[in-house]
């Protein structure tokens, strides 16, 4: 270690400058690259998925336009009445302006994917700004519309890209679902299976119409017709990002409301809850039955481990009803909407492969007695833990969402009950003739 002479003639250690400079540079570099990426991956200032309140998805295609596969993909989308978002590379857009205009004319969204598709972790701040700005200028010149969305190559931000996209007014978008694979790549049939398994409302699905791993655009184009048929069968619309990322009607304001909203969104995402219809009162998730064997009136037996459809009230929808309607009308309107939701559920039970083999549908509700008028079987909840936990949860929701607020907290735990309807009973009461299984 190098030494110097102190003020009293003693020798004191001197820290070498080169290692210190390298250490500071290393920390700065990590903050510039990995730090920005971690912030973006955590969803801070970036969008990974749309609202879960509608059965819609956003198909997004990166790295085009490609002279072979982008026109092919546009034709397939048009045949299926689907629209998407294309994150274009600026220099490729310059080389194929007619394809960019065809994307815009098809009412698809066009996003910014940088000018040359470099890895942003290897770029200086000045070069990063130039990449994003040049691509935005190309898209604006070709379409007359500045891009509203930005996605970095490989989904990797650096700090300059994170900030500069916002300065240009571009929303930073990643994805919630990828299916093409990398190592190994997914064959065309697997792309559809992966999306079907991970599908959720508001999904932003990352695909490629150009670039990517070798052969990816060809596999994606081959998989796309079956994928679009599957999404339609599952009751999903394919819309561009500007129509998927529509703010929900009721937004939380206070800290308490934001905490509740975060909790319920997390719950819905974890259990893959999805609305039965976009404008209906019920949502559904798939879950294994836990507890004793349940024997329903039509002879259907539900055994432990059987996968059933778990029904949930859509809290945001019910809350909006309380806000929009006089109290005396809420019950009537809710009953009508529940009937419509059960009719839609009967259709899903026959057409959606995920629901075709479910033996029954179940819910827990304060309104279990009233559910009998809709043809559902019901009974009181006997599990003490569920009575306590769900009772507390319902009381908190009632205090927050009901127009009478805390005045409704006289609800007791024994008011919570089970609601059941077998698949057979659902189809018999709510199925249309076209929904009935053939023999």
- Catalytic residues, by residue number, are 62, 208
Category of 159 on φ-ψ map: left (φ > 0), alpha (ψ -120 to 50) or beta: alpha
d(CA 222, CA 226): 8
* Phi, psi for 413 (deg, rounded to 5): -60, -30
**DSSP states of 186-233 as a string?**
PPHHHHHHHHHHH--TTEEEEEESSSSSTTHHHHHHHHHHHHHHHHHH
Query: The tokens of 176 are what?
Result: 């919630």
Q: In what order do the strands lie in the sheet with 417-422?
A: 274-275, 282-288, 307-313, 360-365, 417-422, 377-380
Cis before residue 131, ω within 30 degrees of 0?
Answer: no
What is the helix (H) or strand (E) element at residue 90, kind and residue range? Answer: helix 90-95
d(CA 365, CA 390): 9
Q: Could you give the C-alpha distances from 137 to 41, 94, 129, 338, 386, in angstroms and in order? A: 27, 11, 12, 50, 58
User: Which residues are paired to 288 by β-bridges?
Assistant: 307
d(CA 173, CA 58): 11
3 state SS of 285: strand
d(CA 291, CA 289): 7
Cβ-Cβ contacts under 8 Å for 393 (sequence gap 6 or more): none
Q: Which residue do the tokens 């039509």 mark?
A: 298
Query: The tokens of 430 are what?
Result: 């709510």
d(CA 190, CA 193): 5
What percent of the residues of the chain are helix, what percent strand, and what percent coil, each to the nearest 5?
Answer: 50, 20, 35
Query: The tokens of 438 are what?
Result: 């053939």
Q: Could you give the C-alpha distances from 427 to 234, 375, 434, in angstroms and in order? A: 18, 11, 11
Q: How far apart are the first and last CA of the chain?
A: 89
User: Which of 282, 284, 378 is CA-nearest to residue 337?
Assistant: 282
d(CA 226, CA 194): 13
């Amino acid at each position: 270690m190098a030494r110097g002479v102190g003020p009293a003639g003693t020798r004191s250690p001197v820290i070498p400058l080169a290692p210190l400079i390298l250490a500071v540079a290393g920390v700065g570099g990590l903050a510039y690259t990995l730090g920005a990426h971690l912030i973006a991956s955590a969803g801070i200032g970036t969008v990974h998925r749309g609202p879960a309140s509608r059965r819609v998805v956003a198909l997004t295609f990166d790295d085009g336009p490609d002279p072979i596969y982008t026109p092919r993909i546009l034709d397939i989308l048009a045949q299926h009445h689907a629209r998407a978002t294309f994150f274009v590379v600026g220099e490729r857009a310059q080389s194929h302006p007619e394809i960019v205009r065809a994307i815009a004319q098809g009412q698809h969204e066009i996003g910014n994917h940088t000018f040359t598709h470099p890895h942003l972790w290897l770029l200086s701040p000045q070069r990063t700004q130039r990449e994003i700005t040049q691509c935005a200028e190309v898209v604006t010149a070709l379409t007359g519309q500045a891009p509203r969305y930005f996605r970095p190559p490989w989904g990797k931000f650096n700090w300059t890209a994170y900030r500069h996209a916002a300065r240009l007014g571009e929303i930073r978008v990643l994805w919630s679902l990828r299916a093409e694979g990398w190592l190994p790549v997914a064959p065309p049939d697997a792309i559809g299976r992966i999306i079907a398994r991970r599908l959720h409302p508001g999904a932003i699905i990352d695909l490629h119409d150009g670039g990517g791993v070798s052969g990816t655009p060809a596999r994606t184009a081959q998989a796309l017709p079956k994928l679009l048929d599957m999404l339609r069968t599952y009751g999903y619309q394919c819309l561009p990002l500007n129509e998927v990322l529509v703010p929900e009607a009721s937004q939380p304001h206070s800290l308490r409301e934001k905490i509740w909203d975060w909790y319920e969104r997390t719950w819905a995402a974890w259990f893959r809850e999805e609305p039965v219809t976009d404008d209906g009162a019920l949502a559904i998730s798939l879950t294994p039955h836990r507890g004793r064997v349940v024997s329903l009136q039509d002879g259907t037996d539900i055994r432990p481990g059987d996968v059933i459809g778990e029904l949930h009230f859509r809290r945001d929808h019910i809350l909006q009803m309380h806000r929009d309607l006089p109290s005396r009308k809420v019950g009537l309107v809710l009953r009508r909407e529940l009937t419509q939701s059960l009719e839609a559920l009967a259709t899903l039970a026959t057409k959606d492969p995920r629901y075709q083999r479910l033996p029954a549908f179940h819910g827990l509700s304060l309104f279990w007695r009233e559910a009998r008028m809709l043809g559902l079987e019901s009974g009181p909840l006997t599990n003490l833990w569920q009575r306590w936990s769900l009772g507390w949860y319902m009381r908190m929701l009632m205090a927050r969402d009901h127009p009478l607020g805390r005045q409704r907290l006289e609800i007791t735990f024994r008011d919570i009950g089970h609601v059941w309807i077998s698949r057979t009973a659902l189809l018999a009461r709510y199925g249309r003739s076209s929904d009935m299984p053939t023999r």
